[in-house]
Amino acid sequence: MAPYLLIDNSNSFTKFAVSVGGQLSPVSSLPTRGLSADALRDLVSDWTFGSVVVCSVVPQTAALLVQTFAHLPLLQVSSSIDLGIGIDYPAPESIGADRLANAVAALALFQTPAVVVDFGTALTFDILSREGNYVGGVIAPGLEAMTNYLHERTALLPKITLLEPPSVIGKSTEHAMLAGAVYGYRGLVREILAEIRRTLPGAAEDLRVVATGGYAELIAAGLPEISSVHPALTLEGLRLIAKRNFN
Protein backbone atom coordinates (compact mmCIF):
# COMPACT_ATOMS: atom_id res chain seq x y z
CA MET A 1 0.00 0.00 0.00
CA ALA A 2 1.59 3.28 -1.13
CA PRO A 3 1.76 6.04 1.49
CA TYR A 4 -0.79 8.86 1.24
CA LEU A 5 -0.17 12.52 2.06
CA LEU A 6 -3.17 13.78 4.06
CA ILE A 7 -3.84 17.53 4.22
CA ASP A 8 -6.42 19.14 6.49
CA ASN A 9 -6.62 22.77 5.35
CA SER A 10 -8.62 24.76 7.92
CA ASN A 11 -8.96 28.49 8.51
CA SER A 12 -6.21 28.87 11.13
CA PHE A 13 -3.77 26.02 10.48
CA THR A 14 -3.14 23.46 7.76
CA LYS A 15 -2.22 20.06 9.15
CA PHE A 16 -0.23 17.36 7.36
CA ALA A 17 0.39 13.67 7.99
CA VAL A 18 1.38 10.60 6.00
CA SER A 19 -0.56 7.37 6.23
CA VAL A 20 1.55 4.23 5.98
CA GLY A 21 0.17 0.76 6.64
CA GLY A 22 -2.99 2.06 8.27
CA GLN A 23 -1.16 4.36 10.71
CA LEU A 24 -0.76 8.13 10.81
CA SER A 25 2.67 9.70 11.04
CA PRO A 26 3.23 12.52 13.57
CA VAL A 27 1.22 15.57 12.52
CA SER A 28 2.92 18.73 11.22
CA SER A 29 1.19 22.06 10.70
CA LEU A 30 1.66 25.45 9.05
CA PRO A 31 -0.37 28.64 9.52
CA THR A 32 -2.92 28.77 6.72
CA ARG A 33 -2.49 32.51 6.28
CA GLY A 34 0.59 33.05 4.17
CA LEU A 35 0.89 29.41 3.09
CA SER A 36 3.07 29.16 -0.02
CA ALA A 37 4.22 26.56 -2.52
CA ASP A 38 7.79 26.88 -1.22
CA ALA A 39 6.68 26.27 2.38
CA LEU A 40 4.71 23.22 1.27
CA ARG A 41 7.63 21.75 -0.64
CA ASP A 42 10.03 22.39 2.24
CA LEU A 43 7.72 20.69 4.72
CA VAL A 44 7.33 17.48 2.73
CA SER A 45 10.76 17.39 1.07
CA ASP A 46 11.87 14.35 3.09
CA TRP A 47 8.50 12.57 3.09
CA THR A 48 7.59 9.63 0.88
CA PHE A 49 4.09 9.40 -0.56
CA GLY A 50 2.43 8.47 -3.83
CA SER A 51 -0.92 10.24 -3.67
CA VAL A 52 -2.57 13.17 -1.90
CA VAL A 53 -5.91 13.74 -0.17
CA VAL A 54 -6.95 17.35 0.43
CA CYS A 55 -9.66 18.40 2.83
CA SER A 56 -10.11 22.17 2.57
CA VAL A 57 -12.49 24.85 3.81
CA VAL A 58 -10.38 27.68 2.36
CA PRO A 59 -10.90 27.83 -1.44
CA GLN A 60 -7.88 30.00 -2.20
CA THR A 61 -5.53 27.70 -0.29
CA ALA A 62 -7.16 24.63 -1.79
CA ALA A 63 -6.22 25.91 -5.24
CA LEU A 64 -2.60 26.33 -4.09
CA LEU A 65 -2.51 22.80 -2.68
CA VAL A 66 -3.95 21.30 -5.85
CA GLN A 67 -1.46 23.20 -8.00
CA THR A 68 1.52 22.24 -5.81
CA PHE A 69 0.74 18.52 -5.88
CA ALA A 70 -0.75 18.35 -9.38
CA HIS A 71 1.96 15.90 -10.48
CA LEU A 72 0.49 13.21 -8.19
CA PRO A 73 -2.90 11.48 -7.99
CA LEU A 74 -4.92 13.92 -5.88
CA LEU A 75 -8.36 13.64 -4.31
CA GLN A 76 -10.36 16.57 -2.91
CA VAL A 77 -12.88 15.60 -0.26
CA SER A 78 -16.49 16.47 -1.05
CA SER A 79 -19.90 14.83 -0.90
CA SER A 80 -19.51 13.73 -4.55
CA ILE A 81 -16.76 11.15 -3.86
CA ASP A 82 -17.02 7.70 -2.29
CA LEU A 83 -17.02 8.38 1.46
CA GLY A 84 -18.51 5.15 2.71
CA ILE A 85 -21.27 6.92 4.64
CA GLY A 86 -24.85 7.77 3.81
CA ILE A 87 -25.81 11.43 3.61
CA ASP A 88 -29.37 12.41 4.53
CA TYR A 89 -29.10 16.15 3.93
CA PRO A 90 -30.89 18.48 1.48
CA ALA A 91 -27.73 20.02 -0.04
CA PRO A 92 -24.81 17.58 0.44
CA GLU A 93 -22.48 19.76 -1.62
CA SER A 94 -22.70 22.48 1.04
CA ILE A 95 -21.26 20.30 3.83
CA GLY A 96 -17.69 21.29 4.75
CA ALA A 97 -15.02 18.79 3.72
CA ASP A 98 -13.65 18.65 7.27
CA ARG A 99 -17.09 17.81 8.61
CA LEU A 100 -17.43 14.95 6.14
CA ALA A 101 -14.00 13.61 7.10
CA ASN A 102 -14.94 13.77 10.79
CA ALA A 103 -18.15 11.85 10.09
CA VAL A 104 -16.26 9.17 8.15
CA ALA A 105 -13.84 8.68 11.05
CA ALA A 106 -16.58 8.66 13.67
CA LEU A 107 -18.54 5.99 11.83
CA ALA A 108 -15.46 3.78 11.51
CA LEU A 109 -14.08 4.23 15.02
CA PHE A 110 -17.13 4.69 17.25
CA GLN A 111 -20.65 3.40 17.63
CA THR A 112 -23.68 5.27 16.31
CA PRO A 113 -25.69 7.39 16.86
CA ALA A 114 -22.82 9.80 17.28
CA VAL A 115 -21.92 13.47 17.38
CA VAL A 116 -18.53 14.91 16.48
CA VAL A 117 -17.83 18.21 18.25
CA ASP A 118 -15.00 20.03 16.49
CA PHE A 119 -13.45 22.88 18.50
CA GLY A 120 -11.84 24.76 15.64
CA THR A 121 -12.06 28.33 14.34
CA ALA A 122 -15.78 27.60 14.36
CA LEU A 123 -17.48 25.18 16.74
CA THR A 124 -19.24 22.48 14.73
CA PHE A 125 -21.43 19.53 15.68
CA ASP A 126 -21.85 16.81 13.07
CA ILE A 127 -24.45 14.15 13.65
CA LEU A 128 -24.63 10.52 12.55
CA SER A 129 -27.87 8.57 12.88
CA ARG A 130 -28.04 5.08 14.32
CA GLU A 131 -28.03 3.82 10.72
CA GLY A 132 -24.70 5.58 10.10
CA ASN A 133 -26.02 8.42 7.94
CA TYR A 134 -24.83 12.01 8.15
CA VAL A 135 -28.05 13.87 9.03
CA GLY A 136 -26.93 17.45 9.76
CA GLY A 137 -25.22 19.58 12.34
CA VAL A 138 -24.83 22.79 14.29
CA ILE A 139 -22.39 25.67 13.78
CA ALA A 140 -21.48 28.21 16.48
CA PRO A 141 -18.64 30.73 16.97
CA GLY A 142 -15.30 29.24 17.96
CA LEU A 143 -13.99 29.75 21.48
CA GLU A 144 -11.03 31.88 20.39
CA ALA A 145 -13.24 33.99 18.13
CA MET A 146 -15.51 34.80 21.07
CA THR A 147 -12.71 35.81 23.43
CA ASN A 148 -10.84 37.77 20.75
CA TYR A 149 -14.04 39.69 20.04
CA LEU A 150 -14.15 40.92 23.63
CA HIS A 151 -10.54 42.11 23.43
CA GLU A 152 -11.00 43.79 20.06
CA ARG A 153 -14.29 45.54 20.87
CA THR A 154 -13.56 46.81 24.38
CA ALA A 155 -10.99 49.30 25.61
CA LEU A 156 -9.89 47.58 28.81
CA LEU A 157 -10.32 43.84 28.34
CA PRO A 158 -7.02 42.10 27.50
CA LYS A 159 -6.29 39.31 25.05
CA ILE A 160 -6.12 36.10 27.08
CA THR A 161 -4.54 32.69 26.72
CA LEU A 162 -7.26 30.10 27.05
CA LEU A 163 -6.79 27.62 29.89
CA GLU A 164 -8.70 26.19 32.85
CA PRO A 165 -9.77 29.03 35.21
CA PRO A 166 -8.95 28.72 38.93
CA SER A 167 -12.66 28.96 39.74
CA VAL A 168 -15.88 30.30 38.31
CA ILE A 169 -15.50 33.47 40.44
CA GLY A 170 -12.80 35.57 38.83
CA LYS A 171 -10.36 37.41 41.11
CA SER A 172 -8.87 39.42 38.25
CA THR A 173 -10.04 40.63 34.86
CA GLU A 174 -8.15 37.81 33.14
CA HIS A 175 -9.59 35.16 35.46
CA ALA A 176 -13.10 36.56 35.05
CA MET A 177 -12.73 36.36 31.27
CA LEU A 178 -11.41 32.80 31.51
CA ALA A 179 -14.36 31.80 33.68
CA GLY A 180 -16.81 33.31 31.23
CA ALA A 181 -15.13 31.68 28.28
CA VAL A 182 -14.55 28.16 29.62
CA TYR A 183 -17.60 27.68 31.84
CA GLY A 184 -19.81 29.55 29.39
CA TYR A 185 -18.58 27.48 26.48
CA ARG A 186 -19.14 24.25 28.35
CA GLY A 187 -22.69 25.39 28.98
CA LEU A 188 -23.17 26.10 25.28
CA VAL A 189 -21.87 22.67 24.29
CA ARG A 190 -23.87 20.90 27.01
CA GLU A 191 -27.15 22.51 25.95
CA ILE A 192 -26.65 21.77 22.25
CA LEU A 193 -25.82 18.14 23.04
CA ALA A 194 -28.90 17.87 25.24
CA GLU A 195 -31.11 19.14 22.41
CA ILE A 196 -29.50 16.71 19.95
CA ARG A 197 -30.06 13.87 22.39
CA ARG A 198 -33.75 14.86 22.67
CA THR A 199 -34.22 15.23 18.92
CA LEU A 200 -32.19 12.49 17.25
CA PRO A 201 -34.03 9.13 17.16
CA GLY A 202 -32.36 6.59 19.40
CA ALA A 203 -29.95 9.10 20.92
CA ALA A 204 -31.65 9.42 24.28
CA GLU A 205 -30.44 5.96 25.29
CA ASP A 206 -27.07 5.78 23.57
CA LEU A 207 -25.26 8.74 22.02
CA ARG A 208 -21.51 8.67 21.44
CA VAL A 209 -19.94 12.16 21.61
CA VAL A 210 -16.43 12.58 20.17
CA ALA A 211 -14.44 15.81 20.45
CA THR A 212 -11.63 17.03 18.24
CA GLY A 213 -9.94 20.33 17.39
CA GLY A 214 -7.66 22.74 19.20
CA TYR A 215 -9.67 23.29 22.39
CA ALA A 216 -11.24 19.83 22.64
CA GLU A 217 -9.21 18.67 25.63
CA LEU A 218 -9.73 21.92 27.56
CA ILE A 219 -13.51 21.97 27.20
CA ALA A 220 -14.02 18.20 27.39
CA ALA A 221 -12.22 18.10 30.77
CA GLY A 222 -15.35 19.54 32.36
CA LEU A 223 -17.96 17.80 30.22
CA PRO A 224 -18.75 14.17 31.08
CA GLU A 225 -21.14 14.23 28.12
CA ILE A 226 -18.10 13.92 25.83
CA SER A 227 -17.12 10.25 25.55
CA SER A 228 -13.79 10.57 23.74
CA VAL A 229 -11.24 13.15 22.59
CA HIS A 230 -9.49 12.35 19.31
CA PRO A 231 -7.11 15.17 18.27
CA ALA A 232 -6.38 13.71 14.82
CA LEU A 233 -9.95 12.69 13.95
CA THR A 234 -10.11 14.69 10.69
CA LEU A 235 -6.82 13.25 9.45
CA GLU A 236 -8.02 9.78 10.44
CA GLY A 237 -11.08 10.38 8.27
CA LEU A 238 -8.82 11.41 5.38
CA ARG A 239 -6.82 8.21 5.84
CA LEU A 240 -9.99 6.14 5.54
CA ILE A 241 -11.15 8.12 2.50
CA ALA A 242 -7.76 7.65 0.82
CA LYS A 243 -7.85 3.89 1.46
CA ARG A 244 -11.34 3.68 -0.01
CA ASN A 245 -10.59 5.69 -3.16
CA PHE A 246 -6.99 4.85 -4.04
CA ASN A 247 -7.08 1.04 -3.57
SS3 (DSSP) at 217 = helix
Provide the 10 A C-beta neighbour count for residue 165: 20
Report the C-alpha gap between 15 and 9 in whole angstroms: 6
Cα angle 76, 16, 140 (rounded to 5 degrees) comes to 70
Looking at 98, 118, 126, 206, which residue is catalytic? 98
Transcribe 126-186 into DSSP letters.
EEE-TTSEEEEEEEEE-HHHHHHHHHHH-SSPPP------S-SS-SSHHHHHHHHHHHHHH
Q: b/e per residue, 127-137, with b = 16+ CB within 10 A?
A: bbbbebbbbbb
Cβ atoms of 188 and 146 within 8 Å: the answer is no
98 labelled catalytic? yes
Distant-in-sequence, close-in-space partners of 133: CB < 8 Å, separation ≥ 6: 85, 86, 87, 88
Hey, which residues are catalytic here? 98
